[in-house]
Structure 1
């Protein structure tokens, strides 16, 4: 390019169908690396050899790369996108990257999202090498999605990237498998604050004000189920000496009665903006408290050593597996699902049971309450029977603070009193609707 173009000029020429918000300021700070290529050809050839890519598919990919490299404006902007993508996760950048296609790339536009991600692999690995991260931690990370993508390209001629935001974690080498679980930096933005008692080390979370909950302590309207008679709104009273607010019971619901704390007795341990490690659960055996504890300890050691600038406070995750309603239908003594969720400080989210329907029944819109066929698994049968009563599941999130890792296995947050209150509170909104002769859905 003869002169530097500004963001509006470049994007007008490229004509992307989608770009994340907030890129303009980053683009203004971007300094090109001067490399004349998009993807090093030796790396590309290694990929082709590893996956025994057919010649026709090789040529298709190579022509797509050339189409970007020979368009000076698109090449420049793509290199900018790559730089931002490669560092986005460690910056806990909330920009929502997903599939994008530049209209200026007329013939090979369908390849663009894949090529953009593939371009991220080499610079991401160089960044980790610069941090002295051993190769064994990241050498195979990009190949988790790359294997499937290369098979689709070769066998089906399909260049579409499935779940771009998720596979981006792998192409940018931002996610690490440490023993049993994956970990990646995450910025905490939920509406509550966590405290630890200075003497007893008890941890409690107080919900921020102004949110509506049903009588069962879940967000009013979750699963399109409302509780107009029993709902309550979270409160927060604070002065120099105390805070009075609604406690989040670590069994995953907000308590109606407020809880007072004296500020002199409690330290704030997590609030909005804090840095956590998001935990992701790959399929397979070993979903146990012991493996959880070991993985979390390894993760803290890893990030302290190789990413010391990240002030990691603990762990966060969101899953259908954390729904404490599952403890109502599963064997509490034998179920690893129950054993693991009891190690977390669970809390309600805005997500209903779509994830459970998908993971357990194979379809987010499945209605097991209407299915009279016998399900093959114990979990399916138990969940379906529960839903036939009119009850619904929820997706919950969890927190584990790093100081409590060693206590995993002995329920660091949940007490017998918490479980008893859960049993008295769960599905109370349904009981109320039955008493009133009304159904709110």
Structure 2
């Protein structure tokens, strides 16, 4: 049975200020359900009781829900959106959901995004129940942000949803805390390919062609810093027998010199389109190689058992914590930041140091100076390093599942990789820091 309302007519009526691209095709294939309620009232009452939502806030939320349910066009489309959102993460859907407001709700439109997320909880829980996932893995997931959202509504009648794409992971029960870290499916889309040697099992990442790098192996122009003399462009030469390209040093930079891999000796281990698990780092203690190893091992076992259709190749993540420049200002023998990053295959991306500024100084746009906060050892070290004009970068990492049991022994980074890093880092700067 197809939808009874034409997609474009529905859009014209609902008057959304934003919708992800690509929904029309999915809408055509969507089989509408005949449920009369957006959110089961018994379930909703349970949420109210759990979070001690007072009557005045319940009335505000109920009013928004009923406005959607009493509008046949908006109600039908909202049920479609919840069905799509509840499965989007496991599909690694490219469509980007964020805050949405339908003009047809008039003065109640600001309540829509929260109610849409709220409507995702019960069907998401049901999907996990059907998979046989033990409740201990997910019973607290949707409440991570639900509690704070209820408090905003109770105290200020504020329905605004902060960081919709991130909190959607929790309302749709798509992210799991396994020991110390969060995991969620992620499709690998970066511009390099990993290869594994058939005998030694060594792993090498080769950069794809036509990316411009500074002499320090970082993307030219990162942080607004350009290299006027030492830039190079990545190359890729391939024939039936070999591939010649620029190696990505696992300390997080692209090497200028080309290397050649013989195809008879090396097999592809990771390329664009492969399924990974994105690792997210909650605040708190326990950021150690041992906890990384334990969490990754648990994640592999969990997804193999409960999501066997996802062919997980390994792990991916993006963070300021992976910048190998931090090893220049922290003690590599004592710092957990450095110890952890050296368990990964780190690589450069186009993100600058905004994430570091946010985490270290509390402002993504902060311009560190002598007047900046210098309460911690890290703040002082970062400021001292940046005095020379040097900058940090956000970086990404990958860990293939075959190396998880070697976490703690630096499965990708060698002594020579570290030496090359020390020779190359900040080489684009005049008066560079000594190695």
**TM more than 0.5:** yes
* SS in structure 1 at match of 2:47: helix
Partner of 1:438: none
Partner of 2:429: 430
1:409 to partner: Cα distance: 0.1
What pairs with 1:223-262 in structure 2 (closer than 5 Å)? Answer: 223-262=223-262
Q: Within 2, Cα distance between the matches of 1:110 and 1:372?
A: 40
Q: Which runs of 5+ in 1 are unaligned?
A: 435-441
Partner of 2:170: 170
* SS in structure 2 at match of 1:170: helix
Partner of 1:415: 414
Partner of 1:31: 31
* SS in structure 2 at match of 1:105: helix
Q: Deviations over 1:53-73 (max 9, x none)?
A: 121111010010000000000
What pairs with 1:192-211 in structure 2 (closer than 5 Å)? Answer: 192-211=192-211
Partner of 1:392: 391
* SS in structure 2 at match of 1:195: strand
1:40 to partner: Cα distance: 0.5
* SS in structure 2 at match of 1:316: strand
Q: Deviations over 1:363-405 (max 9, x none)?
A: 011111x234661111111011101111000000000000000
Partner of 2:295: 295
Partner of 1:354: 354
RMSD after superposition: 1.3
What pairs with 1:10-25 in structure 2 (closer than 5 Å)? Answer: 10-25=10-25
Given that residues 248 and 347 in structure 1 are in contact (C-alpha distance below 8 angstroms), is that contact kept between their aligned partners in structure 2?
yes
Q: Deviations over 1:288-324 (max 9, x none)?
A: 0000000000000000000000000000000000000
Q: Deviations over 1:180-223 (max 9, x none)?
A: 00000000000000000000000000000000000000000000
Q: Within 1, Cα distance between the matches of 2:431 and 2:361?
A: 29
Partner of 1:88: 88
Partner of 2:122: 122
What pairs with 1:283-322 in structure 2 (closer than 5 Å)? Answer: 283-322=283-322
Given that residues 230 and 432 in structure 1 are in contact (C-alpha distance below 8 angstroms), is that contact kept between their aligned partners in structure 2?
no
Partner of 1:383: 382
* SS in structure 2 at match of 1:215: coil
Q: Within 2, Cα distance between the matches of 1:249 and 1:161?
A: 40
Q: Within 2, Cα distance between the matches of 1:336 and 1:304?
A: 29
Partner of 1:105: 105
Q: Deviations over 1:316-366 (max 9, x none)?
A: 000000000000000111100000000000000000000000000000111
Partner of 1:40: 40
1:235/1:118 Cα in 2 relative to 1: closer, same or farther (>3 Å)? same
1:8 to partner: Cα distance: 0.4
Q: Within 2, Cα distance between the matches of 1:431 and 1:373?
A: 25
Given that residues 242 and 260 in structure 1 are in contact (C-alpha distance below 8 angstroms), is that contact kept between their aligned partners in structure 2?
yes
Structure 1 stretch displaced more, 76-85 or 372-381: 372-381
Partner of 2:330: 330
1:373/1:312 Cα in 2 relative to 1: closer, same or farther (>3 Å)? closer
Structure 1 stretch displaced more, 150-159 or 309-318: 150-159
Q: Within 1, Cα distance between the matches of 2:294 and 2:432?
A: 45
- May I ask how many residue pairs the two structures share in their alignment? 432
Q: Within 2, Cα distance between the matches of 1:32 and 1:241?
A: 53
* SS in structure 2 at match of 1:428: coil
Q: Deviations over 1:266-308 (max 9, x none)?
A: 0101000000000000000000000000000000000000000
Q: Within 1, Cα distance between the matches of 2:158 and 2:203?
A: 50
Partner of 1:282: 282
